[in-house]
Every structure is written in C-alpha cells, then in structure tokens.
Structure 1
Amino acid sequence: MSLLCGIDSVRDLLRANTERFARGLPANNALLWGARGMGKSSLVKAVHAGVNAGLGDKAGSLKLIEIHREDIESLPELMGMLRGAPCRFIVFCDDLSFDAADTSYKSLKAVLEGGIEGRPENVILYATSNRRHLLPRDMMENERSTAINPGEAIEEKVSLSDRFGLWLGFHRCSQDEYLAMVQGYVAHHGIPIAPDALRREALEWATTRGSRSGRVAWQFVQDLAGRLGVRLTDTPA
C-alpha cells in the first residue's frame, strides 16, 4: 500500500471503512471513480490485503470476490450464496458502467438497497468506474430529451450511484505526484539510476504517453528495469 502515492486521503478513507466492516461494525458500499490509471482497483486489492493482514488470528476471514461487469445480473444469486457464511466478503466490480440498452443496473440497484433479499450483513460492495454516475453523459441527456417526465428518468439512473454511501474521487496527478510515484517504485525495487537521469527519463516517458498517472509511472519503471537488467520482485495488483 505504501507504493500507492498521491491518493493518501482516499486510501485512508477506504481502509477505515474496510476495517470497520471487517470488525462487524457498520460500513458503506464504496464507489471509486475518476481518472484512469490512478490506482482505483489497485487500492481495493491493497486495502483488502492490508486489513486481512491486520486481523491476526482471524486472517483470511475477510474475502475478496471479483464479479465481472457482464455478470451483474447474477448478483442476487451470489448474495444468496454468501448470506449466512462464517466469513465476511467484499464483492468487487472493476470498471463498472452501463450503456443505453443495458438494464442490468437494476440488479445492482436492488442489492444496494438492502432489505430482506438485498445485501447480507456480511457483504459489502466496492466498485470502480471512470464515471461518477456510472452512465455516459450522452445517455443521460438522451433520457432527458425523450422521456415524458425527464426528471424522473434521470433520477432513476443517477440514483444508482447514490446508493454507494462512500464516494472516493481519483483525479489526474500533478508532475510532482507522478515523479513521487516513479521514485517510490525505483527505491522499492533498488533500481540504480541517478536522480537527474531518472527525472529526465520519467518526464520524457509521460510526455510520449500524453498523460501522467500511477499506471504510466509503473509502465515506465518496468521499461527502465528491463533496460538496466533489474528483475522486479513483485508487481502492483
């Protein structure tokens, strides 16, 4: 988790929420949204591993289950399988979004609402998305222009993201944050390179990619390590 730079505040919020859930205390479903490549899915996996490691004798009692976007409609069945199990579960959907013809969001909505057939007490849902409201803007505008009651049509779609009690925003990183990510990886893996050369090459790499993010920083470090003949001991989730 220490290698995830530039997202300290959201990291602490998600970890605290997950720790409460692991201890059997009230906790919120979480939606991690925002810029691509900024560590949303990596943070979910790192927090799960970190909290599990801190459980001591109960290590392994917090499970992480990943469900693919295409399988959202099976969520109610999954909830039935997990209900009453001795472990606690984070159900994780990476890169969640819906298009105009998709109605499977209603299955997710039903689970998030809770109730008798909704989310069990031992299950929490975490999702990542590039979109804050999980729906493309043009779809929402189309709903507004064609619906008999535009306000109600939009409200039904937007209310899905409202059912995630914890919203964590990930924004594009600054140059300094990008360089801190690169330096963190280089130090962790013991890659021998002079600071000036590292800065120059890292900035050149970001310029050729047209963006700065944690993903771009890691891709640069992989290229750098390969060129210098350094084997990386582990990789981000």
Structure 2
Amino acid sequence: MTDPALSRIADALEALVRRFTPADSAPVDLRSAPAYHWDGAVIRAVEAFKPVAFGLLTGIDAQKNALLENSRRHAEGYPAHDVLLWGARGTGKSATVASSVAQLQGEGMDVALVQCATDSLASLPALFALLRGTSRPFILFLDDLGFDDDGGDARALRSLLEGGATARPANVRLYVTSNRRHIVPRYLKEQDDPINVRDVVDDKMALSDRFGLSLGFHNLDQDAYLAIVSGYAARFGLSYDPLDAVQWATQRGSRSGRVAWQYVVELAGRAGKSLS
C-alpha cells in the first residue's frame, strides 16, 4: 500500500519539474534559424536577428572586408580561419561579426551565428557535439573575452581551437572579440621573472597565436567618426550639425562607431523618427 505522504511528495516534485521545465525544451532545428544562443546547457534559436547593415559599417573597411571574405570561405566549405578581433571598446568588433553573417545570409548562403557567453567556456565541448551533428556551417561568437591570467580557461580554449578530442568540428569557426591583443594581460613584472622571461611571454601569447586571422580595431579620428555619423544619418533620412556630433562624442570621452550610433539614436528621438 502506498504511503499517502510519499504520494503527496511525489506529486509536489512532479509539479515543480513541470513548472521549471522550459516550454521550448524540445530539440532546436539547427538548420532553420539565422542565429542561436548557447547558455551553457541549452541552445535556442534567435529569430529576430537584425544586425546593422554591413554597408553602414564605416571607417573599418579593411577589417570588415577581411572578415567577410573569411566568413564566405567558411560558408562555402573552403578552408577558413578562427578569428580574433581586438581593440578598443565600441569600435565595431561585435557589429562586424554579426553584420558579416547577415550579409552572407542575404546573399543566400546557409551559415548561422551561435553566440556563447564567455563564462560558459567549459560547456563548449557539449555545444560542439550538437553542432557536429549537422553539416551546416556555424560561426561561434565569443564576445568580450579576456582572462586575468593564463590559467585553466585559457589553456582549455587553446585545446578547443587546435587538437584534442574536444576540438571544434570542421563546420565551426570561432570568432572572438577582446579588448586585449593577446586576450591575456602582460605585466611589467614578467621582465623580472627569474626563471625564463621568454617562456612566460610565449605562453601568454600562445592563445592569440591559435587564431589564423587577427584584426585590430582602433580609436577613430574626428573625420572618421563624422563619416560614420553621416552614413547613419543619410541611411535614416536625418539631418545633423557636425559640431553637435563632435560635442556629443566629447561629452562621452570617446569617438567610436558605438558613440556615433548613440548620437543617431538621439537625432531620431529629437526628430520623432523610427530607426527600423
């Protein structure tokens, strides 16, 4: 005879499971969506994938064209590099990644973006196992990656990029953005290392060396900043005063693509116009 108390406990547990189980826990179709998000345990489709138009990215022509060409090779099944995009904040690194993928999709190429939180690196082998099950090309995007030292996470990422049973599958390339050229910092105290300075520095640079393509993004001068503002303003039919645009950037202590976009948002708000 079943204990009534145990039955009540079992019913309560079952209700909790139903309550906290995601409604979209069914397997995601990895061939349908333009972009996905991996949270370390579950991959979900991102249907509203609408990055900035590739043609609107101004002042970074060399970087965006190099990334687009590499992405096109990958989408077509040809050899392509893992890519490190490094440089100052707000200079267009993340926008270039998303816009390049959207540009290729607009050309009819079957390639998708998968964004992964940088605190979920330990889960990447599980993600790779999912993506390995399809022939569709994927670009795995790790945004704003950085390590305080060259510890376990950095070594794990190196092994995922090259060699080992958990290395990324052939249909996946990693695109990583970082504020640091070598992802991990280099300190002056390394010069005083009594063991072997060259070994210390080489070990820290080893991670960035795993990327076949490294693209630097730098702070803009005033003319480049105004060119970006002008391109956005023309695209959305907005008028602007260059002096006002410069003052906007000065107040924020930065000239960048991000600041230019924020200024255009301000312009649209003032004019009562939509940016959609």
Change (3 A) 1:114 1:51: farther
Q: 2: distance between equivalents of 1:76 and 1:144? A: 36
For structure 1, the residue ranges without an aligned partner over 5 or more in a row are none
* 1:183 lines up with 2:230 in the alignment: yes
Number of aligned positions between the proteins: 223
Residue matched to 2:248: 205
Letter in 2 for 1:68: A
| Offset of residue 78 of structure 1 | 1.7
Is residue 209 of structure 2 the alignment partner of residue 166 of structure 1? no
Within the candidate set 215, 224, 232, 2:258 is matched to 215
Q: Secondary structure at the match of 1:212?
A: coil
CA distance in 2, matches of 1:134, 1:173: 22
Task: Name the CA distance, whole Å, in 2 between partners of 1:198 and 1:5.
Answer: 19
Using the TM superposition, give the Cα deviation of residue 102 of structure 1 relative to its aligned residue in structure 2, in angstroms.
Answer: 4.4
Q: Secondary structure at 1:91's aligned position in 2? A: strand
Higher relative contact order (CA 8 A, sep 6+): 1
More helix by share: 1
CA deviation string 1:110-157 (max 9, x = no partner): 01113553121111000011100001233xx44554563332232222
Does the 8 Å CA contact 2:249/2:259 hold for their aligned counterparts? yes
2-side partners of 1:26 and 1:167: how far apart? 16
2:169 corresponding residue in structure 1: 120
Aligned to 1:23: 76
Greater shift, 141-150 or 69-78, is seen at: 141-150
Distance in structure 2 (CA, Å) of the matches to 1:137 and 1:201: 39
Give the secondary structure class of the aligned counterpart of 1:124.
strand
Which residue number in structure 1 is paired with residue 144 of structure 2?
Answer: 95
Q: CA deviation at 1:38?
A: 0.9
Gapped regions of structure 2 (runs ≥ 5):
1-53
Verify the 8 A CA contact 1:97 1:129 in the aligned structure 2.
yes
**TM-score (norm. length: structure 2):** 0.76
What is residue 68 of structure 1 aligned with on the other side? Answer: 117
Q: State, as a whole percentage, how many aligned pairs show the same letter.
A: 48
Decide whether the 8 Å contact of 1:92 with 1:127 is kept in 2. Answer: yes
What aligned pairs does 1:35-54 form with structure 2 within 5 A after superposition?
35-54=88-107
Runs (4+) off by over 6 Å: none
Task: Please provide the CA RMSD for this pair.
Answer: 1.7
- 1: CA distance, partners of 2:103 / 2:66: 14
The residue type equivalent to 1:172 in the other structure is N
Q: Which has the larger radius of gyration?
A: 2
1:164 maps to a residue whose letter is F
**3-state SS in 2 of match to 1:90:** strand
One-letter amino acid of the structure 2 residue matched with residue 227 of structure 1: R
After TM superposition, the structure 1 = structure 2 runs for residues 112-151 of structure 1, keeping only pairs within 5 Å, are: 112-114=161-163, 116-138=165-187, 141-143=188-190, 145-146=192-193, 148-151=195-198
How far apart, in 2, do the equivalents of 1:66 and 1:84 lie? Answer: 18
